[in-house]
């Protein structure tokens, strides 16, 4: 029986002043383990020391891609 790998995307969120939207920068990936712990591999370190981890969303291809 094949087990699925649960991937997470890791982001650094830079808060902006005023009406500007916050900037989300992907800085790594996470892997969900069998015991529900998460291994995280970072390609960068956020300057504010905070990371945000989300389930990876599978993008659907559109016609012509």
The tens-digit pLDDT sequence of the chain (65 residues) is 344 568 999 999 998 888 888 999 999 999 999 998 999 999 999 998 899 999 988 776 666 65
Burial of 13 (0-12, 13-18, 19+ CB in 10 A): middle
**Token digits of residue 25:** 């920068």
Instruction: Give the model's pLDDT for residue 65.
Output: 57
Q: Is residue 61 part of a domain?
A: no
How many domains are there within the chain?
1
**Which residues form the domain of 41?**
7-55
DSSP 8-state class, residue 50: -
How many helices (H) and strands (E) would you count in the chain?
A: 0, 4
Q: Is residue 63 part of a domain?
A: no
Q: Is residue 39 part of a domain?
A: yes
Q: Is residue 14 part of a domain?
A: yes
Instruction: Give the model's pLDDT for residue 62.
Output: 66
Instruction: Give the model's pLDDT for residue 1.
Output: 35
50 CA to centre of own chain: 13
Instruction: Give the model's pLDDT for residue 15.
Output: 87
Q: Is residue 60 part of a domain?
A: no
Provide φ and ψ at 21, rounded to 5°. Answer: -75, 150
Instruction: Give the model's pLDDT for residue 38.
Output: 93
Q: Is residue 65 part of a domain?
A: no
Q: Is residue 21 part of a domain?
A: yes
């Amino acid at each position: 029986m094949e087990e699925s790998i649960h991937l997470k995307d890791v982001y650094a969120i830079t808060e902006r002043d005023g009406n500007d939207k916050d900037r989300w920068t992907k800085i790594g990936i996470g892997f969900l383990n069998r015991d529900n712990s998460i291994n995280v591999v970072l390609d960068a370190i956020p300057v504010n020391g905070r990371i945000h981890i989300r389930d990876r969303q599978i993008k659907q291809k559109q016609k012509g891609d």
